[in-house]
Structure 1
Amino acid sequence: MAEDQKTAQVPIQRHGVIGNMRALALVADTGSIDYMCWPEFDSPSLFAALLDTPAAGMFEVAPRLPDARRLQIYLPGSNVLQTRWLSRDAVVEVTDFMPVVADAGLPPLLVRRVTVVQGHARIRMRCRVRHDYSRADTRARLADGCVLFSAPDQIDVSLSASVPLLLQEHTAIADFDLGAGEHAQFVFGHARDARVNPGRVEELLKQTLAFWRQWLRKSNYRGRWRESVERSALVLKLLTSREHGGILAAGTFGLPELAGGERNWDYRYCWIRDASFTVYAFMRLGFSDEANAFMRWVRARVSACSEDPSPLRIVYSIAGQKHLPEAQLDHLAGHLASRPVRIGNQAYEQKQLDIYGELLDAVYLANKYGEAISHEGWENCQRVVDRLCEQWQESDVGIWEMRGAPQHFLHSRLMCWVALDRAIRLAYKRSLPAPFERWDRARQAIHHDIWTHFWDDEAGHFVQRLGSREVDAAMLLMPLFRFVGATDPRWIATLRVIERDLVRDGMVYRYRTREGTDGLVGDEGAFTACSFWYVECLARAGELDKAHLEFEQLLRYANPLGLYAEEFDRNGRHLGNTPQALSHLALISAATFLDRKLSGDSSFWQP
Structure 2
Amino acid sequence: MTDDPIADYAFLADCRSGALVSRAGSVDWWCPDRFDASSVFGRLLDPDAGHWLITAVAYGTPTTGAEADAEVQVDRAYLPGTLVLRTEHRTGTGRVEVTEALAVEPGARGHRIGLRSPAVLLRVVRGLSGTVRMRVEFAPRPEYGLVTPYLHEEPGRLVAAGGSATVTLRGDVPLTPLGDGTAAAEFTVSAGQVVGFDCAYARGHGPTGPAELDRVDAVDNAVAAWRSFEEIHRYQGRYPELVQHSALVLQGLTYQRSGAVVAALTTSLPEQLGGTRNYDYRFAWLRDFSYTLHALWVGACPDETDRLFGWAARSTGRVGEGPVPIMYGVEGERVLGEQRLEHLRGYRGSRPVRIGNDAWRQHQLDVLGEMLLAVHRLRHELGELDDELRLMLCGIADKAAETWREPDAGMWEVRGEVRHYVSSKVLCWAALDRAVLLAPMLGEPADAGRWAAARDEIRATVLDRCWHPAVAAYTGILDSAELDASVLLMPLVGFLPATDPRMRATIEAVHDRLGDNGLVRRWSGDPAGFLLCSFWLVECLVLAGEWDRATELFERTAARANDVGLFAEQVDPATGALLGNLPQALSHIGLINAAWRLTAPDDPDPDPDAHQD
Alignment match, 1:27: 21
Distance 1:245 1:290 in 2: 7
Query: Conserved in 1, the CA contact under 8 Å of 2:485 and 2:520?
Result: yes
Query: Conserved in 2, the CA contact under 8 Å of 1:288 and 1:370?
Result: no
After superposition, give the CA deviation of every residue in 1:242-265 in whole Å (9 maximum; x if it has no partner): 101110000100100001111100
Alignment match, 2:331: 319
Task: Give % identity.
Answer: 37
After superposition, give the CA deviation of every residue in 1:222-245 in whole Å (9 maximum; x if it has no partner): 444122111100000000111011
- 2:401 pairs with 1:408: no
Alignment match, 2:274: 260
After superposition, give the CA deviation of every residue in 1:507-538 in whole Å (9 maximum; x if it has no partner): 1101123xxxxxxxxx5321111111111111
Query: Conserved in 1, the CA contact under 8 Å of 2:148 and 2:181?
Result: no
Alignment match, 1:455: 467
Tell me the SS of whatever aligns to 2:143.
helix
- Count of residues in correspondence between the two structures: 583
Shift of 1:190: 2.9
Distance 1:415 1:189 in 2: 45
Shift of 1:348: 0.4
Shift of 1:373: 3.3
- Unaligned runs of 5+ residues in structure 1 are 1-6, 514-522
Distance 2:13 2:299 in 1: 21
Distance 1:384 1:276 in 2: 15
Alignment match, 1:538: 541
- Unaligned runs of 5+ residues in structure 2 are 59-69, 109-113, 203-207, 609-613
After superposition, give the CA deviation of every residue in 1:162-184 in whole Å (9 maximum; x if it has no partner): 11222112112221111101011
Shift of 1:220: 2.4
Tell me the SS of whatever aligns to 1:51.
coil
Alignment match, 1:3: none
Alignment match, 1:75: 79
Distance 1:85 1:368, change over 3 A: same
Alignment match, 2:153: 142
Tell me the SS of whatever aligns to 1:34.
strand
Query: Equivalent residues in 2 for 1:96-107 (5 A)?
Result: 96-101=100-105, 102=108, 104-107=115-118
Query: Conserved in 2, the CA contact under 8 Å of 1:158 and 1:194?
Result: no
Shift of 1:573: 1.0
- 2:511 pairs with 1:508: no
Shift of 1:106: 4.7
Query: Conserved in 1, the CA contact under 8 Å of 2:103 and 2:118?
Result: no
Alignment match, 1:529: 532
Shift of 1:59: 0.5
Structure 1 residue identity aligned to 2:152: R
Structure 2 residue identity aligned to 1:455: W
Q: If the length of structure 2 is used for normalisation, what is the TM-score?
A: 0.92
Tell me the SS of whatever aligns to 1:59.
strand
Distance 1:271 1:118, change over 3 A: same
Structure 2 residue identity aligned to 1:509: R
Distance 1:165 1:569 in 2: 41
Alignment match, 2:67: none
- 2:36 pairs with 1:42: yes
Query: Conserved in 2, the CA contact under 8 Å of 1:322 and 1:348?
Result: yes
- 2:247 pairs with 1:233: yes
Shift of 1:363: 1.5
Query: Conserved in 2, the CA contact under 8 Å of 1:476 and 1:533?
Result: yes
Alignment match, 1:517: none
Distance 1:324 1:87 in 2: 47
Alignment match, 1:12: 6
Distance 1:47 1:604, change over 3 A: same
Tell me the SS of whatever aligns to 1:588.
helix
Distance 1:107 1:263 in 2: 34
Alignment match, 2:143: 132
- 2:574 pairs with 1:560: no
Query: Equivalent residues in 2 for 1:348-497 (5 A)?
Result: 348-369=360-381, 373-428=385-440, 433-497=445-509
RMSD (Å), alpha carbons: 1.9
- 2:295 pairs with 1:294: no
Distance 2:375 2:123 in 1: 41
Structure 2 residue identity aligned to 1:478: M
After superposition, give the CA deviation of every residue in 1:71-95 in whole Å (9 maximum; x if it has no partner): 1100110111111113342111111
Q: If the length of structure 1 is used for normalisation, what is the TM-score?
A: 0.92
Shift of 1:591: 0.8
- 2:593 pairs with 1:589: yes
**1:61 corresponds to which of 54, 65, 85:** 54
Alignment match, 1:548: 551
Distance 2:470 2:563 in 1: 46
**2:299 corresponds to which of 279, 285, 301:** 285
